[in-house]
Structure 1
């Protein structure tokens, strides 16, 4: 009987570690020294202060360095008063008073209102209003049935575009026209910032019988 051939298992060949890897492994195995920061062991936490005290301290520092930042001014206007005039017109009673509170010219605000509403109107007391016997002096007579909420929404839009400073949100601004560029500028009296205001664009205007009659006479 033939002897069975023996199988010998030599195992996997053991690779030799490179010199650099061996040095790195030996270095990692060495105990590392603890790093101590100077003065850390001597530090002890201070007493905990309430949030309200820290907040009051912050406001005090802000007020000392810049008093205008801590005290926010409120910009208050009277609500628009609108009454019916006949069946097709309304009168904005306190229009001139609101323009004075905003420190803006009546003509500029009137132009904006007529353009946004897309209607016709005149200030009572002018030649046009006297000829038609409309309202009392200072009122803006508008053609259409507008309510106080419509006028209030329009005022908010006007204040944002032509009154409020975009930098500090102050209402202490001036509206002037640049003579060289003929652009309308909004200049802030508090922070000194200036910006260009959008030009008033004419809104929708319905052609009436009077407009057609005036066009025929012009021909």
Structure 2
């Protein structure tokens, strides 16, 4: 039976490695120094973000009003707070109404501060249409902010959505304006 002596290294490589470890000065090794440097750099980046770009460092959430939808006669519905909704999302009432008329395949009109839509749509259909409009024309695809503006390029005949928070731009589909008389 062989007796193994584990206290002695059996190769010269192990001896050299052991000498290197013993010759190192006691204290902080390179891994600890790198981690401390990384933590300091990360903390500095976070502080600079908070200082210079408040909207990106602290996310804000804006709640929109629920649409107030009522029956208006046998075959019409009325969206009472339509103008307030358009002001909240910073869009023209004509653009928003045209989107809804095209999407729902119906006609309507803007009266006072409300939108009157022909047809028998339910409030859930209107809310689903609002979500589609917000995703396509209002919400920034980069930072998910509602603080955007819609600019029409006359030469190219396209709409450009520009985010005021992150300055991102993207093109959005143009609306087909129907020549039907709105009543």
TM-score of the aligned structures, taking structure 2 as reference length: 0.71
- SS of residue matched to 1:167: coil
Cα deviation for residue 34 of structure 1 reads 1.2
Counterpart of 2:153 in structure 1 is 178
The runs of 5 or more residues in structure 2 that have no matched partner are 1-9, 33-42, 179-183
Residue 99 of structure 2 corresponds to residue 138 of structure 1:
no
Q: Which of the numbers 51, 57, 73 marks the counterpart of 1:70?
A: 57
- Distance 1:40-1:90 versus aligned 2 partners, 3 A rule: farther
Aligned residues of 1:118 and 1:202 also touching (Cα < 8 A): no
Aligned-partner Cα distance in 2 for 1:96–1:167? 27
The Cα RMSD (Å) is 3.1
Deviation of the 1:194 alpha carbon: 1.1
Deviations 1:85-136 (A, max 9, x none): 1211111111111111111001100010011111111112xxxxxxxxxxxx
1:58-103 Cα offsets, whole Å, 9 max, x none, are 9656424532222111121110111111211111111111111111
Q: Give 1 or 2: higher strand fraction.
A: 2
Question: Match for residue 43 of structure 1?
Answer: 28
Q: Provide the rounded CA distance (Å) in 1 between the counterparts of 2:159 and 2:108.
A: 23
Looking at structure 1, the residues matched to 24 and 175 of structure 2 have their Cα atoms a distance apart, in angstroms, of 67
Give the structure 2 partner of residue 192 of structure 1: 167
